[in-house]
Chains A and B, each alone.
Chain A
Amino acid sequence: MPAPIRLRELIRTIRTARTQAEEREMIQKECAAIRSSFREEDNTYRCRNVAKLLYMHMLGYPAHFGQLECLKLIASQKFTDKRIGYLGAMLLLDERQDVHLLMTNCIKNDLNHSTQYVQGLSLCTLGCMGSSEMCRDLAGEVEKLLKTSNSYLRKKAALCAVHVIRKVPELMEMFLPATKNLLSEKNHGVLHTSVVLLTEMCERSPDMLSHFRKLVPQLVRILKNLIMSGYSPEHDVSGISDPFLQVRILRLLRILGKGDDDSSEAMNDILAQVATNTETSKNVGNAILYETVLTIMDIKSESGLRVLAINILGRFLLNNDKNIRYVALTSLLKTVQTDHNAVQRHRSTIVDCLKDLDVSIKRRAMELSFALVNGNNIRGMMKELLYFLDSCDPDFKADCASGIFLAAEKYAPSKRWHIDTVMRVLTTAGSYVRDDSVPNLIQLITNSVEMHAYTVQRLYKALLDDISQQPLVQVASWCIGEYGDLLVSGQCEEEEPIQVSEDEVLDVLEGLLVSNLSTPVTRAYSLTAIMKLSTRFSSVNRIKKVVSIYGSSIDVELQQRAVEYNALFKKYDHMRPALLERMPIMEKTATNGPTDIAQTNGETDSTILDTKHLPSITHPASQANDLLDLLGGNDVVPVIQTTVPTKPASAGGELLDLLGDLSLTGGPTPTPAPSVPMSQPPFLLDGLSSQPIFNDIAAGIPPMTAYNKNGLKIEFTFERSNPSPNIAVITIHATNSTEADMTEFVFQAAVPKTFQLQLLSPSSNVVPALNQGSVTQVIRVLNPQKQQLRMRIKLTYTHKGSPVQDLAEVNNFPPQSWQ
């Protein structure tokens, strides 16, 4: 068999191919040759074949059959073989295939090889495609290499460590000792990769972050040397000494200084130096400056430094490079909240960016402009923004309009200005504004009484010019309906009054009703306006006619209005003037967001009751938590009962009865495992427990005394409800043998998780003195597994004015009660 052709030969042959098909044919022929050579286990030419395969792979032909050959090459003793083998492994293999695990051992051997280049190759491969299994196995070797003095290996080991940490974050600790001396290295490659490694560790773990804070002075020194050192041909890029390293260090400083006063303090000076000393004629310098600015903004830096940073961004705004301008706007937007005044200084430049051709820059500039509006500059800024609104793309109009509304509402210097501005927006971008702007403007107009005449006149004029902007038309219709008399009488003081007759006004409004441009809502506005004018104008007959025409309109909404208005003319004419009176001044409510008026449906009563009783419910809930704690562990389901005997609210009386009945009839049936049984207010069940619910007292279960202390005695009597023998019904009887009443008596109980427990309301919360009465309360325990019953009880009451609290465990339940 002849020797396989060389790689160069193959490439030359392939390049002679004139068509894709020809090329494919050549490749297939060569692939067949390579496969057979692989089969023959030809060691001499394996590297050549794999190299050819990689070339084909680049051209997009399948090369997976070379994967195993790569592994064989890696295992070879020759550097040539290893080199191409590792390259092939990186290009052809990935961690999704188990084949890659076969390399682990080879890589391990090579990491300990005597030649640095072999070690370098294996590090590079591990750092490129090492899976988490591989990383776990080889992390020790990487860590060892991270401590060598050989800078060629050290830098590779650092990046490899980054890869290991990304794959298996818990291995991070392992590299901690090795990081100690990394920054004292002279070699820039090692420094660079070390900073990458430190950054990765700091980003991943807060512990590392606080640990590495002590490195700040060292980093500052390195950065200082970079700036101060003269020209060094090795690291120079466009006149700047190793910008990569500078950028990397600045980023690490940013992470270290964030939220830490001492570190921030330590880096203030150097940041100022970088910010002032960096040459910005080239892109490189701008990148460093930009990183510096971000670092200054992120750490707790001095205010002077922040101003400097913002000024740098301001300079970026003037840069010819679009990317830099864009980046500057974005960063200014981020800082405008914290450093408002500093950003304010660049207002004119920012406003100029509104005229930029690039849409992304425009949008950023618009957002930033709105952020900069305040009471002092509102007039000027609004002029610019209104101009922008006029000329910008439709995409911007909605956002710009609502921005203007917000700003105007916040900072309007006068009502007239405010109304003018909003009207300006409606005329220029009417169809893009949000729906709520119409009611907002109407409210604004109503509230400025002295402006009514002026506004209605302006709106009338606007209507004459253009009836296509629906929101404007709606506002105008509303105003004309409301203040039509002012319009006709020509009382405007602010500007030259116009002379209009009643008929002219009605002509315009009727024009709206028939116009194709009008939406149904606009028509409705206009019809209502006409109706309102019937009390303000003398030409009632004309209005009657219009209204009656629309009584048969095809639009249901319009028709309904017209019919109602018609009725108003006919049947209730005496009420009409009162009904159509001018609207009262609207109260300023929350204009944005939902109104929080309570819903006035039938549920109102119960919500009010709920809130009334809320305190009595929340209180025992916290107690229940206590009880839970006391019971130790979470295998208990607490059940709480309050004895607060709420007086039935008068409104809830019937409801109470209703629920009472419900409970009575439903009593003996098994309750469906209520985990939070007292979701209803307790008073709903109040008054039940005094009545005997379970009459069928199972004979033979003796009563027991569960608690007897300090004169308080609690007895349990048992019943088994017949339909469901799993349920034990326990009635507690609390009696008091002391001479003083026990008030605010609360009985709580908890059972292990295998049980479920329900407490019904007690008969009272006062245990009368001298055994003159008792408090009874029913507990129902669901015991599906028929286990021995255990219970913990908690008692709280006030005796002779002092609160008493006690806990007890009840274990001596008679077997009949649970078997």
Chain B
Amino acid sequence: MIKAILIFNNHGKPRLIRFYQYFAEDMQQQIIRETFHLVSKRDDNVCNFLEGGSLIGGSDYKLIYRHYATLYFVFCVDSSESELGILDLIQNMLLFTTVCNFVMQVFVETLDKCFENVCELDLIFHMDKVHYILQEVVMGGMVLETNMNEIVAQVELQNRMEKSEGGLSAAPARAVSAVKNMNLPEIPRNINIGDINIKVPSLSPF
């Protein structure tokens, strides 16, 4: 089972965190730091999995990661979904590496498709969208769907639904706020976006 999916950049700044097992907030941050520390010091040519840090459960867990440009994609997985022994655990590493690499690949390629060549900035500014995509790939720590076209289609449909809602019910409120914002000269950019919002109601509500 996947325990956590972490994305952070070369400096260890988190870009997406998703835990499928409960960890307290400060613990989550410590895990991110530890994982970054473990992953970042590795060369690009070594194998792409390693034993988990002490915080997330030590050697019972494997970190499987990939490094794309400025981002690290890390999956933290346990031995298996059941109480298989340590020996099997080691054996499962191969499979997990592969599975997680698939998932990562699917995930990243989906991101690519959704954002047309994903870059770190896309992840930063579309945090919610990234989560929604991930939600269609992994659910409750288990792989849900690996067909990229299907994932993209479902996410697109949901986004469209959101947009249509934004256009129908949130537009008046947004119009009001845009007018309000116009009176604030220190944020001129908002005016423009507000304007567009009135004219093109299908833009994101955030």
A residues sitting closer than 8 Å to B (CB atoms) are: 2-3, 6-9, 11, 15, 44, 47-48, 51, 54-55, 57-60, 62-64, 78-80, 83-84, 87, 91, 94-96, 115, 117, 123-124, 127-128, 152, 155-156, 159-160, 162-163, 188-189, 192-193, 196, 199-200, 203, 234-235, 237, 242-244, 247, 283-284, 286-287, 290-291, 294, 321-324, 326-327, 330-331, 334
Q: Which of B15, B20, B148 contacts A128 (CB 8 A)?
A: B20
* Binding stretch for chain A, among B36-44, B70-78, B111-119, B157-165: B157-165
Q: Please list 18 pairs of residues, one from A and one from B, whose beta carbons are closer than 8 Å in the complex, sorted by A's number.
A: A7-B128, A11-B124, A48-B205, A58-B17, A80-B205, A83-B162, A127-B139, A155-B144, A155-B145, A189-B145, A234-B147, A234-B149, A237-B105, A283-B97, A321-B47, A323-B49, A323-B93, A326-B90
B72 to chain A, nearest CB (A): 15
- Beyond the given A58-B17, A124-B135, A203-B82, please list 10 additional residue pairs across the A-B interface where CB-CB is below 8 A: A3-B180, A48-B205, A87-B128, A128-B140, A156-B144, A193-B144, A203-B81, A283-B97, A287-B99, A323-B47
User: What residues of chain B lie closer than 8 Å to A128, measured between beta carbons?
Assistant: 20, 139-141
Q: Does B9 contact A (CB under 8 A)?
A: no
Pairs A-B, 7 closest by C-beta atoms = A3-B177, A287-B98, A127-B140, A60-B29, A7-B206, A189-B145, A94-B22
Q: Do A330 and B90 touch (CB < 8 A)?
A: yes
B70-96 CB contacts (< 8 Å) to partner A: 81-82, 87, 90-91, 93-95
User: What residues of chain B lie closer than 8 Å to A244, measured between beta carbons?
Assistant: 99, 102, 143, 146
List the A residue with the shortest CB-CB distance to B25: A62
Q: Number of contact residues on B: which range applies?
A: 35 or more
A318 to chain B, nearest CB (A): 16
User: What residues of chain B lie closer than 8 Å to A152, measured between beta carbons?
Assistant: 154
Q: Does B132 contact A (CB under 8 A)?
A: yes
Q: Does B101 contact A (CB under 8 A)?
A: yes
Task: Given A117-B157, A162-B142, verify A287-B95 contact (CB < 8 Å).
Answer: yes
User: What residues of chain A lie closer than 8 Å to B22, measured between beta carbons?
Assistant: 94-96
Q: Do B180 and A51 touch (CB < 8 A)?
A: no
B residues sitting closer than 8 Å to A (CB atoms) are: 14-18, 20, 22, 25-26, 28-29, 32, 47, 49, 81-82, 87, 90-91, 93-95, 97-99, 101-102, 105, 124-125, 127-128, 131-132, 135, 139-150, 154, 157-158, 161-162, 165-166, 169-170, 173, 176-177, 180-181, 184, 190, 193, 205-206
B11 to chain A, nearest CB (A): 12
List the B residue with the shortest CB-CB distance to A8: B125
Question: In this complex, which of A2, A163, A242 has the most chain B Cβ atoms within 10 angstroms of its Cβ?
Answer: A2
User: What residues of chain B lie closer than 8 Å to A330, measured between beta carbons?
Assistant: 87, 90-91
Q: Do A284 and B102 touch (CB < 8 A)?
A: yes
Q: Which of A6, A117, A189 contacts B150 (CB 8 A)?
A: A189
Q: Do A188 and B147 touch (CB < 8 A)?
A: yes
Question: In this complex, which of A117, A287, A326 has the most chain B Cβ atoms within 10 angstroms of its Cβ?
Answer: A287
Q: Do B206 and A196 touch (CB < 8 A)?
A: no
Q: Do A15 and B146 touch (CB < 8 A)?
A: no
Question: In this complex, which of A83, A247, A291, A322 has the most chain B Cβ atoms within 10 angstroms of its Cβ?
Answer: A83
Task: Given A95-B22, A234-B147, verify A196-B47 contact (CB < 8 Å).
Answer: no
Q: Do B158 and A117 touch (CB < 8 A)?
A: yes
B186 to chain A, nearest CB (A): 11
List the B residue with the shortest CB-CB distance to A60: B29
List the B residue with the shortest CB-CB distance to A123: B139
Task: Given A192-B146, A244-B146, A327-B94, verify A159-B128 contact (CB < 8 Å).
Answer: no
| Bound form: Cα–Cα A356–B167 in Å | 64
B169 to chain A, nearest CB (A): 7
Q: Which of A48, A57, A200, A287 contacts B25 (CB 8 A)?
A: A57
B177 to chain A, nearest CB (A): 3
User: What residues of chain A lie closer than 8 Å to B165, measured between beta carbons?
Assistant: 78-80
Q: Do B147 and A51 touch (CB < 8 A)?
A: no
Q: Do B101 and A84 touch (CB < 8 A)?
A: no
User: What residues of chain B lie closer than 8 Å to A284, measured between beta carbons?
Assistant: 98, 102
Q: Do A83 and B158 touch (CB < 8 A)?
A: yes
User: What residues of chain B lie closer than 8 Å to A326, measured between beta carbons?
Assistant: 90
User: What residues of chain A lie closer than 8 Å to B97, measured between beta carbons?
Assistant: 283, 287, 323
Task: Given A79-B162, A331-B91, verify A87-B181 contact (CB < 8 Å).
Answer: no
| Bound form: Cα–Cα A450–B120 in Å | 79
Q: Do B180 and A291 touch (CB < 8 A)?
A: no
User: What residues of chain B lie closer than 8 Å to A324, measured between beta carbons?
Assistant: 94
Task: Given A159-B144, A193-B144, A283-B101, verify A58-B95 contact (CB < 8 Å).
Answer: no
| Bound form: Cα–Cα A653–B105 in Å | 86
User: What residues of chain A lie closer than 8 Å to B47, measured between beta carbons?
Assistant: 321-323
A166 to chain B, nearest CB (A): 8
